[in-house]
Structure 1
Amino acid sequence: MESATVLSISIAAICIGITAYSVYLSFGPPSKELADPFDDHDD
């Protein structure tokens, strides 16, 4: 493989990994500890 192909696949894999991890943090078990700032302010 050429180095440009390896670099492109590596960057794509890193982007997909970061996206998957952020979805896990947003909707997975760690999301129970997140605070909603709009719920903190009662109008």
Structure 2
Amino acid sequence: METATSVAISISCSPVSFTGHASYTAFGQPSKELRDPFEEHED
């Protein structure tokens, strides 16, 4: 494989993996540990 192809694959995988990790953090198991600051300060 050429160097340019390897670099292009690496760059294109980065946003996909970041999006997957962000979705897992927001909606997966770790989301139960997140706090809601608006809910803490309701009147």
TM-score, structure 1 normalization: 0.83
Question: Sequence identity of aligned pairs in percent?
Answer: 49
2-structure distance, mates of 1:39, 1:4: 49
Could you tell me which runs of 5 or more consecutive residues in structure 2 were left unpaired when the two chains were aligned.
none
Could you tell me which runs of 5 or more consecutive residues in structure 1 were left unpaired when the two chains were aligned.
none
The runs of at least 4 consecutive aligned structure 1 residues that moved more than 4 Å come to none
Matching of residues 24-39 of structure 1 within 5 Å: 24-39=24-39
TM-score, structure 2 normalization: 0.83
2-structure distance, mates of 1:40, 1:7: 46
Instruction: Give the CA RMSD over aligned residues.
Output: 1.0
**Number of matched residues?**
43
